[in-house]
Chain A
Amino acid sequence: MLDNPSYIIDTFFAIFAMVLIIFMVPGFAMLEAGLVRTKNVTSVLTVNVMIYAVASLSFMLIGYEYAFGSWDHQEGISKYAFFMFQMAFVGKVVNIMSGGVSERSRILPLALFTIAVGAFIYPTIVNITWGANFLAGTQFDISGMADLAGSTVIHSTGGWALLAAILIMGSRKGRYKKSGAVQVIPASNIPLVTLGAFLLWIGWFGFNGGSVGAISSKENADAVALTIMNTNTAGLAGAIVGWLLTYFTYRKFDITMILNGALGGLVAVTAGPDQYDIYTPILIGAIGGALVVFFVPLFDKLKMDDPVGALSVHLVNGIWGTLAVGIFVDDVSILTQLKGIAVVGAIVFPISFVIIYIINKLFTLRAGDEEQQEGIDYTECGMEAYPEFKRSI
Chain B
Amino acid sequence: MKKIEAIIKPFKLEDVKEALVEAGIEGMTISEVKGYGRQQGHSELYRGAEYVIEFIPKVKIEIVVSSQEFADVAINAIKEAAMTGKIGDGKIFVSDIESVVRIRTGEEDQEAL
Binding site for B on A (CB under 8 A): 182-184, 186-187, 249-250, 252, 254, 256-257, 296-297, 300, 309, 390, 393
> A390: which B residues are within 8 A, CB to CB?
32
> B49: which A residues are within 8 A, CB to CB?
182, 184, 297, 300
Bound-state CA distance A9–B99 (Å) is 82
Q: Mark B35-59, 1 if CB is under 8 A from A, else 0.
A: 0000000001111111100010000
Most B CB atoms within 10 A — which of A184, A186, A250, A297?
A: A184
Flag if A186 contacts B48 (CB, 8 Å): no
A-B contact pairs, 29 of them (CB 8 A): A182-B49, A184-B44, A184-B46, A184-B49, A184-B50, A184-B51, A186-B46, A186-B51, A187-B46, A249-B48, A250-B48, A252-B45, A254-B46, A254-B47, A254-B48, A256-B46, A256-B47, A257-B47, A257-B48, A296-B47, A297-B47, A297-B48, A297-B49, A300-B47, A300-B48, A300-B49, A390-B32, A393-B34, A393-B55
Within the complex, the shortest CB–CB distance from A244 to chain B, in Å, comes to: 15
> A297: which B residues are within 8 A, CB to CB?
47-49
Within the complex, the shortest CB–CB distance from A157 to chain B, in Å, comes to: 25
Bound-state CA distance A257–B32 (Å) is 31
Q: Mark B43-77, 1 if CB is under 8 A from A, else 0.
A: 01111111100010000000000000000000000
Bound-state CA distance A92–B48 (Å) is 27
> A256: which B residues are within 8 A, CB to CB?
46-47
> B46: which A residues are within 8 A, CB to CB?
184, 186-187, 254, 256
Bound-state CA distance A309–B51 (Å) is 19
> B55: which A residues are within 8 A, CB to CB?
393
Bound-state CA distance A256–B50 (Å) is 15
> B51: which A residues are within 8 A, CB to CB?
183-184, 186
Within the complex, the shortest CB–CB distance from B10 to chain A, in Å, comes to: 15
Within the complex, the shortest CB–CB distance from A260 to chain B, in Å, comes to: 8
> B50: which A residues are within 8 A, CB to CB?
184
Bound-state CA distance A195–B50 (Å) is 25
Within the complex, the shortest CB–CB distance from A242 to chain B, in Å, comes to: 11
- Which A residue sits closest to B50, measured CB to CB? A184
Bound-state CA distance A184–B43 (Å) is 11
Of all A-B residue pairs in the complex, the 7 with the closest CB atoms, nearest first, are A297-B48, A184-B51, A182-B49, A184-B46, A186-B46, A184-B49, A252-B45
Most A CB atoms within 10 A — which of B44, B47, B51, B55?
A: B47
Instruction: Knowing A393-B34, A393-B55 are in contact, say whether A309-B47 is a contact too (CB < 8 A).
Output: yes
> A183-B51, A184-B51, A250-B45 given. 9 additional CB < 8 A pairs?
A184-B50, A186-B51, A187-B46, A254-B45, A254-B46, A256-B46, A256-B47, A296-B47, A297-B49
Q: Mark B14-48, 1 if CB is under 8 A from A, else 0.
A: 00000000000000000010100000000011111
Within the complex, the shortest CB–CB distance from A328 to chain B, in Å, comes to: 29
Bound-state CA distance A393–B47 (Å) is 22
Bound-state CA distance A257–B51 (Å) is 17
Within the complex, the shortest CB–CB distance from A102 to chain B, in Å, comes to: 14
Bound-state CA distance A393–B56 (Å) is 12
Partner of A296, one of B34, B44, B48: B48
Bound-state CA distance A28–B46 (Å) is 20
Within the complex, the shortest CB–CB distance from A124 to chain B, in Å, comes to: 34
Within the complex, the shortest CB–CB distance from A296 to chain B, in Å, comes to: 6
